[in-house]
Amino acid sequence: MASGGGNYRNGTHRSSLKGTTTTSIDRPLSVNSNPSKPALKTKSLSSVGASSGLRKSSPGSLGAAKDDAGVPGRVRVAVRLRPRNAEESAADADFADCVELQPELKRLKLRKNNWDTDTYAFDEVLTEFASQKRVYEVVAKPVVESVLDGYNGTVMAYGQTGTGKTYTLGRLGEEDTADRGIMVRAMEDILADVSPESDSVSVSYLQLYMESLQDLLDPTNDNISIVEDPKSGDVSLPGATVVEIRDQQSFLELLHLGEAHRYAANTKLNTESSRSHAILMVHVKRSVKGREPAHSSENGNSTNMAKSLRPPLVRKGKLIVVDLAGSERIDKSGSEGHTLEEAKSINLSLSALGKCINALAENSAHIPVRDSKLTRLLRDSFGGTARTSLVITIGPSPRHRGETASTIMFGQRAMKVENMLKLKEEFDYKSLARRLDIQLDKLIMEHERKQKAFEDEIERITTDAQVRITEAERNFADAMEKERLKYQKDYMESIKKLEEKWMMNQQKQGGERKHVCASFYPTQEQMVSTAEEVAEVKKLLSKETSLRKAAEEEVNNLKSQLAQLKISEASTNSEILKLQKMLEDEAYQKEKLEGEISMLQSQLLQLSFEADETRRRLDRGGPGKVPGGLDSLIAQVRPQLKDSGNGEKASIAKLFEQVGLQKILSLLEAEDADVRIHAVKVVANLAAEETNQQKIVEAGGLTSLLRLLGSSEDETVHRVAAGAIANLAMNETNQELIMSQGGISLLSMTAANAEDPQTLRMVAGAVANLCGNDKLQNKLRGEGGIKALLGMVKCGHPDVLAQVARGIANFAKCESRASTQGSKTGRSLLIEDGALPWIVQNANNDASPIRRHIELALCHLAQHEVNAKDMISGGALWELVRILQECSREDIRTLAHRTLTSSPTFLAELRRLRIDF
């Protein structure tokens, strides 16, 4: 019973039943097997005072869903893709689907352009191959099971007209039972589970158009009113026909009848069914026998209620299946002849539903349930304690990308999960930014303070040393002068004494010379006095000598003092040197801090950018589920921005205003590697938005990004920069710019050094974009673009191969165009550069993006007779024949056929080989 739907239900249903011993999931659908259920209901009703016995439905279930703790209120959302129809197969032949599904990951990728996609998570992702059985099991079965347990439940289909809402819900499957839709299968399950004696199943079938509710089982009844029990909050339609259903056949007849009336009503009103909502209501009433209200002991504060819960018990559940009006916007000019008022009214219920979902998703205090009939009708059956499933239907065509995107966003909002968590995260961003700011201020202040103290200290030491030196010099000079004067004075005195002596001697000798004449030999006295004089002179001399010695000593003394001073001066100098070194260290630290500061600034910038985006998204009631990681956050946010161009412009304007594009770009060349990485990420994020691309290029961003490929050694920088370049390379002018700045050789070099396949994917994506430019074909090839692409296939990663294949297909297409116009003659440059073997090898690659591109490339190459010989010898003819016979895309098959039959060379070869096709 639970098979197939297991994944969808697991977890949520269980958690909704916490505190009970059994769950409704894993048991068979029987009435009495879950005795603990009433206790749960009583509990959840205690706050709303419901009076209807076991009924869990409560006033304002729509409102009750805003309680985040109420996991059962979480709307489960599945997305279903319709296969291409014949018209799309022909018209979109050259284009890929606008979505790519990853059912095993429960993810959907929405293509933004041929380069970029946004990814969304859903509760279930149903591919174009999903069977009706599986769709029923994952979307509706859990709801049906809980209706059988006495809950209310809703299954809705939302999507553009023609995407398969009615196919999913309303198919009768009378020719082929495998085709049966949700309504029929739900009734089968219900009828199989109830017992005809004690239970009853009844049905109403209605259409809601322009806020008037029509009975599809009784067309005369076309203004049914909705009544709400003010006490219990139960919604009922007293005027609607209610038909008791006993078997499946009578239900099918009833659906037929409803369809016929719907058709007639729409013809009468001159409307299309795609503008109205079809609503099937199934009431299930079951008696619950032999049940003791054991729950009263389980829940002490519900004694009042316990009284009303005594047997006989009746358990009522209501299932509402809504085939919503087409979600496409009504052409207001009135292609269907509607006035604006009518147009508003036609979509009123649908837009009111959207508003309620937004309000619920935002945890808003006010849920505008009363704004439309649809939301009033669903009031007790949507969200809250009721179980709700939404299947959003989309088509594959890239021409309806806008509608598909808005359908996806509707589904995302309906999922409404863990909003609080997200809000907290956003708060953390803010406080982190604030903390970083404060820390930054502190660091700067501390740094300035230290710097100042160092400078002061150095000045003090320098002046101190200066003073000491001057003092020492002065002392030395003073001492020298004193010494010199003393010495001079002594010297003068001794000279004077000697002179006096000498004079005295002269005088003596003058008196005695007369005696000498008489007697040549000195007398005894003369000899004595001379000896005395000599002794005196000797004495004088020795005194003189000792004086000089003293002076010399003094001089030596002074000299040694001077040397001492010199030493102390030297030590002062070395102290100064030490301080200078410290100062240099300090300056280096400062530089490092400045680097850190700019890194923090760039982080801040990115954080504030993201916080802004997140805030705006949350303000607007963004999608519920936001998977972790910044990339996915941005990916989630971006399509919302798309929705409201003004919001995006405002945010970019704000970002530019706050930091300035120039500043962001200048950070690309920052010294610090981390800063560079952050900056290039910011630039890449900006470059992903088409509106920023021109600004980035004008401000020199493209040149900087290219330069980074050459100058940086960091692979992350390479990868992110190449991604940004690839985005910018979608524009023709930018393509020329990239080529003129040596882009091909820079990209080739990056590819040659890359280790991460994602880097190669970015590079290949960029080259692939360049390959699509008619004017650049020769230059691109001349600079080795084709060789570079082929060089990347070594890596073998399918993402890389897909980009290479895209590049080759782009190139072949341009070349083919040029050949047709006569501006190119001679063999394909792809063949010249040796691409053919790889093309042939991968023409039947398992991965469909690779295969598609290559199939197209082969068809383009084959259109020109000059290539035919090489293609035959390279084995391409076999591939073309295979494409013609096996390709699932009709348009490509046709192209291959046309190509083969118009080439004489191919035809001759096929004849020779006796191949018939």
- 166 vs 375, which CB is nearer to ligand ADP? 166
E-strand spans in 433-544? Answer: none
Provide the token pair at 96: 């890929």
Which residue of 141, 165, 676, 806 would you call a contact of ligand ADP, by CB under 6 A?
A: 165
Nearest distance from residue 388's CB to Mg ion, in Å? 20
Among 326, 353, 359, 322, CA closest to 66: 359
Kindly state the smallest distance separating residue 277's Cβ from Mg ion, in Å.
Answer: 10
Burial of 306 (0-12, 13-18, 19+ CB in 10 A): middle
Q: Is 311 an interacting residue with respect to ligand ADP (CB under 6 A)?
A: no
Q: For residues 392 and 73, what is the distance between their CA atoms, to the nearest angstrom?
A: 18
Shortest Å, Cβ 345 to ligand ADP = 20
Least Å from the CB of residue 388 to ligand ADP:
19
Q: Which two tokens stand for residue 582?
A: 């410290």
Closest to ligand ADP by CB, 351 vs 741, is: 351
CB 895 within 8 A of CB 855: no
**150 belongs to an annotated ligand binding site:** no
* Burial class, 424, CB count within 10 angstroms (exposed 0-12 / middle 13-18 / buried 19+): exposed
Q: In this structure, are residues 153 and 146 in contact, taking their beta carbons and an 8 Å threshold?
A: yes
Three-state SS annotation for 346-390: HHHHHHHHHHHHHHHHCCCCCCCHHHCHHHHHCCCCCCCCCEEEE
Question: What percent helix, strand, coil does the chain show, rounded to 5?
Answer: 65, 10, 25
Closest to 179 (Cα-Cα) out of 120, 136, 228, 115? 136
Two tokens, residue 519: 């007697």
Residue 324 or 830: the one with the smaller Cβ distance to Mg ion is 324
Angle at 286 between CA 283 and CA 287, to 5 degrees: 150
- Whose tokens are 């206790």? That residue is 39
159 binds ligand ADP per the rule CB under 6 A:
yes
269: tokens are: 């009103």
> Which partner in Mg ion, ligand ADP, none is near 769 (CB below 5 to 8 A by kind)?
none
Site for ligand ADP in 55-94 (CB under 6 A): 82-83
Residue 416 contact partner, candidates Mg ion, ligand ADP, none, CB within 5 to 8 A by sort of partner = none
Q: Do the annotations mark residue 161 as ligand-binding? A: yes
**How far apart are alpha carbons 208 and 277 in whole angstroms?**
5
> Both tokens of residue 39?
């206790």
Neighbours of 527 (CB within 10 A): 11
Nearest-5° Cα angle at 682, 680 to 686: 115
Per partner kind, with CB cut-offs from 5 to 8 A, the member of Mg ion, ligand ADP, none near residue 82 is ligand ADP
- The residue with its CB nearest to ligand ADP is 164
Compute how many residues bind ligand ADP; rule: CB under 6 A. Answer: 13
* Nearer to ligand ADP (CB atom), residue 274 or residue 364: 274
Of residues 252 and 480, the one with the C-beta less far from ligand ADP? 252
- Tell me how far apart the alpha carbons of residues 724 and 491 are, in angstroms, rounded to a whole number: 95
Q: If binding is defined by CB under 6 A, does position 164 make contact with ligand ADP?
A: yes
Residue with Cβ nearer Mg ion (111 or 165): 165
What six digits make up the tokens of 187? 């009734």
Q: Contact region for ligand ADP (CB under 6 A) — 158-166, 288-296, 593-601, 705-713? A: 158-166
Told to check if 338 binds ligand ADP by CB under 6 A, we report no
Closer of 166 and 773 to Mg ion (Cβ): 166
Burial of 615 (0-12, 13-18, 19+ CB in 10 A): middle
Helix locations, 754-862, DSSP H: 757-771, 777-782, 785-791, 798-821, 829-832, 836-842, 848-862
Interface pick for ligand ADP out of 70, 103, 162, 402 (rule CB under 6 A): 162
- Tell me which residue of 137, 394, 136, 183 sits closest to 279, measured CA to CA: 183
Q: How far is it, in rounded angstroms, from Cα 450 to Cα 678?
A: 30
Stretches 45-53, 155-163, 528-536, 858-866: which one binds ligand ADP (CB under 6 A)?
A: 155-163
162 binds, among ligand ADP, Mg ion, none (CB under 5 to 8 A by kind): ligand ADP
Question: Which of 127, 274, 608, 731 is close enough to bind ligand ADP by CB under 6 A?
Answer: 274
Report the nearest approach of Mg ion to the CB of residue 401 (Å): 21
Is 163 labelled as part of a ligand binding site? yes
User: Which positions lie near Mg ion, rule CB under 5 A?
Assistant: 165-166
Pick 330 or 763: Cβ nearer ligand ADP: 330
300 annotated binding-site participant: no
Residue closer to ligand ADP, measured from CB, 88 or 189: 88
Q: Nearer to Mg ion by C-beta: 166 or 271? A: 166
Q: Is 181 in the site for ligand ADP (CB under 6 A)?
A: no
- Residue 354 marked ligand-binding: no
Cα 246 → chain centroid: 53
Is 791 near ligand ADP (CB under 6 A)?
no
**Is residue 167 a contact point for ligand ADP (CB under 6 A)?**
yes
Of 678, 638, 809, 873, residue with least CA distance to 110:
638
CB 145 within 8 A of CB 4: no
Sequence-separated (6 or more) residues with CB below 8 Å from residue 837:
874
| 623 sits near ligand ADP (criterion: CB under 6 A) | no
Residue 166 binding ligand ADP, by CB under 6 A: yes
DSSP result, 266-282: HHHTT--GGGSEEEEEE
Interaction of residue 178 with ligand ADP, rule CB under 6 A: no
> To the nearest whole angstrom, how small is the minimum distance from the Cβ of residue 142 to Mg ion?
24
Question: Has 166 been labeled as part of a binding site?
Answer: yes
Site membership for ligand ADP, residue 393 (CB under 6 A): yes
266 binds ligand ADP (CB under 6 A): no
Residue nearest to Mg ion (CB): 166
Q: For residue 11, say whether it is annotated as part of any ligand binding site.
A: no
Exactly one of 24, 57, 61, 163 binds ligand ADP (CB under 6 A); which one? 163
Among 36, 52, 114, 161, binds ligand ADP (CB under 6 A): 161
Annotated binding site for ATP: 159-166
Interface with ligand ADP by CB under 6 A: which residues?
82-83, 159, 161-167, 274, 326, 393
